[in-house]
Structure 1
Amino acid sequence: MTIDTEIPHATIDEAVSSLDLRTKIRLLSGARMFSLHGDTSIGLEEIVMSDGPTGVRGEAVVGGRPSCLLPNATLIAQTWNRNVLAEVGELLAEEAQDQQTHIVLGPTINLHRTPLGGRLFECFSEDPYLTGVLAAAYVSALQAKGIGASPKHFLANESETQRTTVDCVVDERSLRELYLLPFEIVEQDATPWTVMASYNGVNGTTATEHDELINGVLKSEWGFDGLVMSDWFATKRAAESANAGLDLVMPGPDTVWDRGLEKAVRAGHVSEATIDDHVRRLLTLAARVGAFPTARSWPKDIARPDSDKRREQLRRIAAEGMTVLKNDGGVLPLTPGTGTVAVIGRHATDTVAQGGGSARVRPPHVVSIAEGLESALGTDSVTLVDGVETRTRLMAVPPSMVRDPESGEQGIRVRAFDEAGELLESRHIEVAELEVAEDGWLAGAHRIELSADVALPAPARMRVGVIGPGDWTVATSGHTESFTITPHQGPGGGLHRPKSHASVVPLEAGARITATTGHHYEMRIIGLVVTSAPRSSAAAISEAVEAAAGADTAVVVVGNTQEQETEGQDQKTLALPGDQDALVAAVAAVARRTVVIVNAASPVLMPWIDDVDAVLFAGLPGQEAGDAVAAALTGAIEPAGRLVTTFPRHDGEGPAWDPNPTAGRLSYSEGTAIGYRGWHRDQADPLFWFGHGLGYASWDYQEARVHQMEGTIVRGVEVTLTNIGTRHGRETVQVYRVPRDPADPVRLIGWSQVSLGPGEHDTVQVTCDHRPQRVWDPAERRWHQLPGGTIVIARGLGDVRASLPVDSGQEG
């Protein structure tokens, strides 16, 4: 459904003039955690938001209705395909429509400044141009269906350590050429209806109070006519943020604006005209999403998250973004009937489909990699072997493993008691975790009890415990334990990555587990943990080696978990968690052929890279994970993805590494030389370059030339491509500009894609964008065109196919 987003300016002005100051200020704070106030006097409906960007979660952090779980943002970005990003935006819009949600809080368009960033999985790329163009396609498609987007986090929110207080110190040129550029592209190419201001400070001023960035650059210079909202709990001061251009404080209803903004206006610290501008922007947003002046109608024929349509879409998108990093001897693709396969590794069965934090989605299912490969290759051909432990923080028990003791249904029983021990309410919960929020049904409980019967096929030693902060007592047959779990520091410390505690106990089949906790000061997620008892790495590796030695191919599945890739916390190393590197090395030493699947979104170290035959970087593939991996490995869908981040060989390498502030300040001392820009400047050789990806075809590049110039700006490049391989393939032709001045970094300026069968050829035209070909002059506070230099045409910066001088545009 497409709605009319024509803004009724007269209606908006009339509505603003009819409201008193107190009412106007009330509208500028959230009504609840994910909704805004309505006002019947002006025909304003409640506006509902949902976290994104890879699924429409709804208002509940956990336990809400099942929603489509898309591949993570970097995996989608690895397609380098604007059409895929538009398809993602359209899919998310339909999911939002189905949930009667007006705004999806995404996309996240901060950059991969350091590979240690905990939230890299949620961002597109280390390159600002690639990020901006892909984000614009996503935003345009989302908003075309009347659902608002909210590009975030404005600005310089590239790490999670001390994210609510850190002051990011960034020179003006780097701000313009890198960190502002994705937002500028999205504003110019897609006109987003909202933008979200970040927690951190920028050069001494907190982002929600940054007049120069919000009023100056975003609203005045770029002409942004949408609404600027705060990140959740990010607004610190009333008058300063209102005057700086912030339009909406989230969440509500108790905010610094609700408490102090009216007083600031009456004292003359904020003009009522400023408040009116904020309200106009709010009502403009409401008109665009169909909440003012009349309520929209919601479609009722949206495909379900587990429908064949959605499953095909999500499988295809994930598989197309997967990247073949290595493929010696053409080991890939694997085909049914080519021999026995040993599938090894904990991530084969405990496949990680999404990162941790506020973007979590409850999917209808997650197809494990083991399930996908058994389905594609045949159960008779596949031997499944568990690997080494990968988690220290445990997840809630899968709902299929527990039954409600009262109803016998899949899930758990939750009961709330008052101070006298009287039962307040008892509910069946379909999953094994739930949110305890200030406005939820458990908010007034003095004691909360979780209980479940465990559906074990036979007695076993299991880890039994809970997740979530609080004082806990856990009891099962023959075992009672009391302990305290503390929250993480910072906003959402009990929500985004709740800590766990569990002990190994013998469980009978059908054993009952009861966990009780008291009131806690923090919003939190709580839940039950039941999982297999850990075993030694030595035993796991020994079993894997035996299986690998007897198979024709060993497929080792390794990766990160939500402990490494999560909101609220950065990584300390790029090494795979646990003893996974030792597992790969041991398997590779005995296997005839070794294929490694990396189930991670951000770069990982690969000390075993020279000893294995093939590596598929599979990302966090979403709900269809296993089927997408199987399609990529067998060639049913070509994994033609290209990396969006440079992979170092070792910890500590690269132009920007440490995300940890010093005395509260994080200096972006590398300037404009982040990612491949810095690697190229230093003439270093990373493990894998930005843009790398082999696919399953081979390509010949001929007759490259610059065919269109505008001053010193390259506007168009063309090159003739021939598929010299034996399989149909998709190629991503990348164009970079290497400036004449070595102090200026190389930068991506355009790309194009072509699909050809074996022996086919085509002349590919690449449109180049002027925006990454500019240099910001801080002294004059304006842009200059890059002079001269060289154009590089490449399959990735590690595989350059042609170099052309900018000045003459001669063939190369």
Structure 2
Amino acid sequence: MVYRAGAVWLSLVASPFASFSLARSVGPRDAVPEGYHAAPYYPTPHGGWLPSWSDAYAKAQALVSQMTLAEKTNITSGVGYLMGNSGSADRLGFPQLCLQDSALGVASTDNVTAFPAGITTGATWDKALMYARGVAIGKEFRGKGTNVYLGPTVGPLGRKPLGGRNWEGFGADPVLQAKAAALTIQGVQEQGIIATVKHYIGNEQEMYRMYNLFQPGYSSNIDDRTLHELYLWPFAEAVHAGVGAVMTAYNAVNGSACSQNSYLINGILKDELGFQGMVMSDWLSQISGVGSALAGLDMNMPGDTNIPLLGLSLWQYELTRSVLNGSVPLDRLNDMATRIVAAWYKMGQDKDHPRPNFSSNTHDKDGPLYPAALFSPTGQVNWFVNVQDDHYLLARQVAQDAITLLKNDGGVLPLSNASKISVFGTDAQVNPAGPNACASRACNIGTLGMGWGSGVADYPYFDDPISAIKRRVPSVKFYNTDSFPAIDTPSSDEIAVVFVTSDSGENSFTVENNHGDRDSSKLAAWHGGDQLVQQAAAKFSNVVVVIHTVGPLILESWIDLPSVKAVLFAHLPGQEAGESLTNVLFGDVSPSGHLPYSITKAATDYPDSIANLKGFALGQVQDTYSEGLYIDYRSLNKQAIKPRFAFGHGLSYTTFALTNATIRAVTPLSLVPPARPAKGATPSYPSTIPPASEAYYPPGFSPIWRYLYSWLQPSEADAAYAIGAAGTPKYAYPDGYLTVQRPGPAAGGGDGGNAALWDVAWEVTVTVRNAGASFAGKASVQAYVQYPPGTPYDVPVVQLRDFEKTAALRPGESETVTLRLTRKDVSVWDVELQNWVVPGVKGDGV
């Protein structure tokens, strides 16, 4: 149904239907295509000017004002590459912060829950589950004594279907990503844990992402409007939700490395979006010392240079030296330290926050106390604290409600416990060597529960599909092979359940010749899975295909075969892969998942810029976003290409009817948002370079080799101070460098941007009724915005703007669902006005 309201049309979609659809300085860069430019933006905006952070900043200012120079520089950096720990200011009671992966659970430790991945969570289209998962993750991170949760992931957005880390995020749409991320952040931070939204920004491919001695990381060349309307959108919502930390990406944007891109960090994130927390580098991605500080980076992790072998750093003692010699203004360091401490206070970590009770370096009780040292004393490092509680129930619920039924010809599903079932495929059973046998899950053996890389957690156990099926049907035949075996001719009522997979992950690992991205396997099922389905379909009259996958696949070689009756995408279910699936297969619940991306009939249905990965090039690889706004369903709609299965598609065992749709105008809209308020006061500190003695090593201190410290030898500190005191220029500041704080852009003024962007413009209600006769089910209602003809902007045909999911409705039962469209939801980014504009509005009102 499409309803016109003012300057936009609103399209409501409910299940089962959906809309179509090393170090380098800041110096010369490799050339980027014409029209793409990383403009300088200085100085770094001070934090503390928003009321939502004022209490935390008042406390932070009181603490930072007591810190010495070395204490300030110490807390802005990690202490070495084998740790995820920042430095401390122990004298004042400010501890080392424990920063820990991953986005789906506490990594590298035991007694935790391995939750379903982000892509699985997105496939639920259920805000309540997204929030509940965030709460549970936050509780486990707190229970393990961490301070910072390195999640959620919203970059990559999912621009490239072959992208290796798409599965860590929530889907190939900015609004789906944004709402899931904001709810995750809310849930995590309510437990007193600092959430970290990542990777900022344009990290849409794994290969060639990292700067190294021989080649810069690739440059994502993104125009201003595309940046704002697609890739920045989830980050803005994260800031609006109060996120405490942002992690920069490895790659460059418009030629400038994300860890020192002053336009992205200072201009967009800290000024336009009003981000008040701390900006950290991804591990080993910092490529300059002074340059990254001036560009707005607040924390360097893990502290080392790109080659973390000798205990060298671009910050720590070097940042101390740079402040003493005047290269880095003390004002910048004060702001860095204050942002870090303010995030700590805002989450209440000054009050009875537990300390880490585990080691990421060993699962044994005792281990090295200084794991990066050549020789280390040992002692207890693991206390084996069990933080799982009953979170397995939530993990199972998320995995279950994400399962997406794409096809169900003849109502072959659900199965009954009396069904004659043969199961094929190694994906049905857990890795025989154990679910955690492969480090960082960098293999595809057995049931695929998560991708690989830093975004994983250890399984406490693994409930695999075949075990769950055997609990229902003990007589099931299981063929644990990906090659179709020689079998007797099955009876016509026998059902084949075929399991296939597709895996991907971080570029740190190569799996079956896939270098993080799916560069080898492409969009085909791994291990000959497509052939396995075809061969099963040639033998059986009824085939059910279950797919565990990181993203879309091309299904054309078998999807229309008459024997292939049903297809389920189970995504990446985590530890609860078994019962979550059988609950759906056998009809305990109706499937209620919906695709968080489109499934095309051919990879070439997308333009080359998003269908293919960028290959090797001499110099910097240029990845130009020439498709602009048109990714996933936006691209298909523009080209009038019908997908095999549309974004948002998902079937149920029942049917739903939508009636009584109404739309109510809530807030009158002007062409652009009202004028932003002026910035509030920010912390003020003395600006005089501190005495060199604040940087001296403590008398008698014995450094541990390969650990990083912020102190200098007295002679070094004295020499640096002499340069600073003399005012002798030590560092050539970047072009465009300014020292006066800016008032901020018109599009800013609040958490995430101008506060008026979150004013509700329209409220849409619709009654959803279970129109079936036999099964209960949950319906997903999706609201899309469509601009009328004549709109003076190039706009996608439809764009997702909100969604809600009903409770499980019994046959005949109804529920009224309310969706809300904000000013921003109906706006476009005007590159000339540098503001959000509601098309068609000429003055006040609509």
Normalising by structure 1, what TM-score?
0.73
**AA at the equivalent of 2:453:** G
Deviations 1:368-407 (A, max 9, x none): 11111111x2212x1101222xxxxxxxxxxxxxxxxxxx
Q: Confirm whether residue 149 of structure 1 aligns to residue 96 of structure 2.
A: no
Match of 1:802 in 2: none
Deviation at residue 8 of structure 1 after TM alignment:
5.4
SS in 2 for 1:220: helix
Following superposition, the deviation at residue 738 of structure 1 comes to 1.8
Moved more, 658-667 or 175-184: 658-667
Which residue matches 1:65? 110
Going from structure 1 to structure 2, the CA distance change for 1:322 and 1:305 (only over 3 Å counts) comes to farther
Q: What is the match of residue 609 of structure 1?
A: 559
User: Conserved in 2, the CA contact under 8 Å of 1:733 and 1:752?
Assistant: yes
Residues 304/310 of structure 1: CA separation in 2 closer, same or farther (3 Å cut): farther
Q: 1:548 to 1:304 in 2, by over 3 A?
A: farther
1:347 aligns with one of 427, 452, 462 = 427
With over 3 angstroms needed to count, the CA separation of the structure-2 counterparts of 1:98 and 1:590, relative to structure 1, is same
Q: Does 1:772 align with 2:810?
A: no
8 A contact 2:220–2:251 mirrored in 1: yes
Point out the more displaced range, 309-318 or 726-735. Answer: 309-318
Instruction: Give the conservation status (yes or no) of the 8 Å contact 1:116–1:571.
Output: yes
Q: How many Å apart are 1:234 and its aligned residue? A: 0.7
Q: Aligned equivalents of 1:90 and 1:658: distance in 2?
A: 37
1:658 aligns with 2:600: no
Structure 1: runs of 5+ lacking an equivalent:
389-539, 789-806
Q: Which residue of 2 is the match for residue 542 of structure 1?
A: 485
Partners of 1:609 and 1:550 in 2: how far apart?
A: 20
The match for 1:571 is 518
**8 Å CA contact 1:37, 1:46 repeated in 2:** yes
Deviations 1:618-642 (A, max 9, x none): 0111111111111121122332011
1:118 aligned partner: 164
Provide the residue aligned with 1:74 in structure 2: 119
Is 1:553 aligned to residue 553 of structure 2?
A: no
CA distance in 2 between counterparts of 1:335 and 1:786 reads 54
Partner residue of 1:497?
Answer: none
CA distance in 2, matches of 1:298, 1:27: 17
Structure 2 gaps, min length 5: 1-51, 211-216, 305-311, 358-382, 430-445, 510-514, 670-759
Quickly say closer, same or farther: Cα 1:709–1:685, change in 2 above 3 A.
Answer: farther
Q: What secondary structure does 1:623 align onto?
A: helix
Q: For 1:42-63, what per-residue CA distance to the aligned partner results, in whole angstroms no more than 9, with x for missing partners?
A: 1111211210111111xx4xxx
1:90 match: 135
Instruction: State whether residues 747 and 772 of structure 1, in contact with CA within 8 Å, keep that contact through their aligned partners in structure 2.
Output: no
Post-superposition CA distance 1:29-80 (Å, at most 9, x none): 11242111222211111211210111111xx4xxx32421011111111111
The structure-2 alpha-carbon separation of the partners of 1:679 and 1:562, relative to structure 1 and needing over 3 Å to count, comes to closer
Higher deviation after alignment, 713-722 or 97-106: 713-722
SS at match of 1:595: strand
- 2:581, 2:636 → 1: CA distance? 30
CA distance in 2, matches of 1:653, 1:329: 30
Q: Tell me the SS of whatever aligns to 1:767.
A: strand
In structure 1, what residue type is equivalent to 2:219? D
The amino acid across from 1:385 in the alignment is: Y
Query: How many corresponding residue pairs?
Result: 624
Query: What residue is the counterpart of 1:18 in the other structure?
Result: 66
Partner of 1:283: 341
The structure with the largest strand share of the pair is 1
In the other structure, the counterpart of 1:426 is: none
Aligned residues of 1:718 and 1:764 also touching (Cα < 8 A): yes
Corresponding residue number in structure 2 for 1:674: 631
Counterpart in the other structure of 2:812 = 759
| Corresponding position of 2:664 | 707
Matched residue type, 2:272: E
Relative to structure 1, is the Cα distance of residues 360 and 143 closer, same or farther in structure 2, using a 3 angstrom cutoff? same
Q: Helix, strand or coil for the counterpart of 1:231?
A: coil
What residue number does 1:169 align with? 221
1:88: Cα distance to partner?
0.7
Of the candidates 226, 230, 234, which is equivalent to residue 182 of structure 1? Answer: 234
Distance in 2, Cα, partners of 1:319 & 1:355? 18
Matches of 2:162 and 2:539, distance apart in 1: 33
Change (3 A) 1:724 1:288: same
The answer to whether structure 1 residue 585 and structure 2 residue 680 are counterparts is no
1:492-511 to 2 correspondences below 5 Å: none
* Structure 2 residue aligned with 1:319: 400
3-state SS of the aligned residue for 1:237? coil
SS in 2 for 1:347: helix
The share of aligned pairs that are identical, in percent, is: 31
Matched residue type, 1:226: G
Cα pair 2:143 2:387 within 8 Å, conserved: no
Residue 176 of structure 2 corresponds to residue 130 of structure 1: yes
Amino acid of the structure 1 residue aligned with 2:425 = G
Counting only pairs closer than 5 Å after superposition, residues 5-404 of structure 1 correspond to structure 2 as 7=55, 9-32=57-80, 33-57=83-107, 60=108, 64-110=109-155, 111-164=157-210, 165-188=217-240, 190-252=241-303, 254-258=312-316, 260-292=318-350, 295-297=352-354, 304=386, 309-337=390-418, 339-349=419-429, 350-375=446-471, 377-380=472-475, 382-388=476-482
Is the CA contact 1:29–1:249 (under 8 Å) kept in the aligned structure 2? yes
- 1:45–1:295: 8 Å Cα contact kept in structure 2? no
Q: Tell me the amino acid that sits aligned with residue 422 of structure 2.
A: A
Q: What per-residue deviation string (whole Å, max 9, x for no partner) do you get for residues 449-486 of structure 1?
A: xxxxxxxxxxxxxxxxxxxxxxxxxxxxxxxxxxxxxx
Residue 729 of structure 1: how far off its partner (Å)? 0.9
Which residue does the alignment assign to 2:697?
A: none
Between the aligned partners of 1:8 and 1:786, the Cα distance in structure 2 is 39
- Structure 1 pair 564–227 and aligned structure 2 pair: CA distance change class (3 A): closer
* AA matched with 1:591: F
| Letter of the 1:341 counterpart | I
**Highest relative contact order (Cα 8 Å, sep 6+), 1 or 2?**
2
Q: Is the 8 A contact 2:236 2:273 kept in 1?
A: yes
Aligned equivalents of 1:269, 1:660: Cα separation in 2: 37
Shift of 1:7: 4.3
TM-score (norm 2): 0.70
Report the Cα offset of residue 14 of structure 1.
Answer: 3.7
Q: Equivalent residue of 1:30, what SS?
A: coil
Q: Matched residues in 2 for 1:324 and 1:123: separation?
A: 21
Matched, 1:718 2:765: yes
Secondary structure at the counterpart of residue 596 of structure 2: coil
User: CA, structure 1 residues 196+8, in 2 after alignment: closer, same or farther (shift >3 Å)?
Assistant: closer
My pick for the range that moved more, 296-305 or 225-234, is: 296-305
Write the letter of the residue equivalent to 1:47. L
Letter in 1 for 2:485: S
Contact 1:102 1:289 in 2 (8 A): no
Cα displacement (A) at 1:675: 1.0
Summarize the Cα distance change of 1:184–1:55 in structure 2 as closer, same or farther, 3 Å threshold: same
Amino acid at match of 1:618: A
Q: Which deviations, in whole Å up to 9, do the C-alpha atoms of 1:123-149 show, x marking residues without a partner? A: 111111111111111101110110110
